Amino acid sequence: MINSANGVPLKAQINEKFQKPLFLDVGLMMSACGMSYADIQDADDADLVNSGPVCEQMIGQHLLYRHPSFQEPELFYWCREKRQTSSEVDFVIHKGIRIIPVEVKAGKTGTLKSLHVFLKEKKYVEGVRFNIDLPSPTMLYDSE
């Protein structure tokens, strides 16, 4: 569900009109798209036009079930709609009272413009990026 991410608990500021659905499993998602495992194995990165949503699905599944089984799973994302400019952060999670934006990219590179907008607007200092590249520390610099 979309969230303004102004503080914790995140559930306090949700807008239920906007939701980002996640399948139960990446395999089920691909099956719903008419793809089999053999098709995916034979495809190049350039062939899979839905590689971004598949990556988001996989990361979303893992984030959704990171809490103990007795807690109801919940996952939020952030979206800013302004005239001529919109930004979206794929997922927003919290660790205690820290709010952490999570951006997912299908390839090795990709702009983190929305993540930077979120961090600047909310005055947060850390975010997480998942991509196909090897893990490395990333510094987020203020462009001003």
Q: What is the per-residue pLDDT across 15-71, written as a single tens digit (0 to 9) for each?
A: 777 777 777 777 777 777 777 767 666 665 555 555 667 778 888 888 888 888 898
Query: Could you give the C-alpha distances from 126 to 24, 54, 56, 93, 138, in angstroms and in order?
Result: 29, 25, 20, 12, 10
Would the pLDDT of 144 be above 80? no
Average pLDDT along the chain: 77
Residue for token pair 């893992």: 62
Closest CA to 17 of 79, 90, 87, 85: 79
**Which of 32-41, 68-77, 88-97 has the least mean pLDDT?**
32-41
Q: Cα–Cα distance between 33 and 124 in angstroms, integer?
A: 37
Count CB atoms within 10 A of the CB of residue 122.
Answer: 17
